[in-house]
Amino acid sequence: MRIMLIDDSKTMRNIQKSVLSQLGYTQVEEACDGQDALSKVGAYQPELLLVDWNMPNMDGLTFVKTFRQQNKSVPIIMVTTEAEKSRVIDAIKAGVNNYVVKPFTPDLLSQRISETLAKCQAAA
């Protein structure tokens, strides 16, 4: 499965990559902000996106909105420190499928990825 990690923190991307690797997903592309991600999605054709909210150049919410205009089916998990209910609702409205609030444990991230993929497969 092709997965794209969008986060301005390299450490955070490495943590997520390690969790994905333990789940058996090794095909991973990285982007450092929304703009970088938009330039890569066309060629990479990801099947799952893990997106941070607060990033320079283009934040995660703007990226989700833009991406959803062209692709409605690829699952997106928002991984962010934004924990307020209103923010979560904004993200869901923009087209996010699941939400992980930082700080998270590797187990929690792993659980969210698995449940998101299972839901999307069931819906398809």
Partner 1 sequence: MADGIDACVQTSFGPERLTAVVRLVPGIDPAQFDLNTLLALIASAGIDAKLINEPAVRQLLENYKANPAQGVEGVVAEGCAAEHGQDGRLELTPEFDEALDRQREAKRRNKAVAEGQEKPPQDATPADHEGVSHYDQSPFCIVKPGVTIGRVHEPTQGTDGHDVQGKVLAAKEGKPFKLQCDDTIELRADGTVVTRVHGQLEHAGSLVRVLPTLDIEGYVDFSTGHIRFPGDIVVQKGVRDNFIVESMQAVHVRELVEAAHIQSEDNVLLDRGMAGREKGRLDVGADLQAKYLDGATAEIAGDCVVAKEITNCDVRVRGRLASPTCAIVGGSVSASRGIEVLQVGTGAGAVTEVIVGKIEELEQLALRASEMIPALEARLTKAEGRLKQLASAGARKTSQQAEELTELQFEVTSAQSQMQPVIDALLRTLQMIDRATLPELVVHRRLHAKAVVWIGAFKAEITDELKGPLRVSLDASGDPVLTDLTTESQVPLRQIARVVRETRFPDLAALQAIARGEESTEAFRRPAA
Label residues 53-81 b or e (16+ Cβ within 10 Å = b).
Answer: bebeebbbbbbbebbeeeeeebbbbbbbe
Near partner 1 in 19-48, by CB under 8 A: none
Pick 52 or 95: Cβ nearer partner 1: 52
Site for partner 1 (CB under 8 A): which residue of 1, 2, 10, 18?
18
102 touches partner 1 by CB under 8 A: yes
Q: How far is the CB of 13 from partner 1 (least distance, A)?
A: 12
9 touches partner 1 by CB under 8 A: yes
8 Å CB contact between 16 and 50: yes
Q: How far is the CB of 18 from partner 1 (least distance, A)?
A: 7
DSSP three-state, residue 30: strand
CB atoms within 10 A of CB 100: 18
DSSP state of 123: H
Pick 22 or 71: Cβ nearer partner 1: 22
DSSP state of 115: H
111 touches partner 1 by CB under 8 A: no
**Residues lying near partner 1 in the complex (CB under 8 A):** 9, 11-12, 15, 18, 54, 81, 101-107
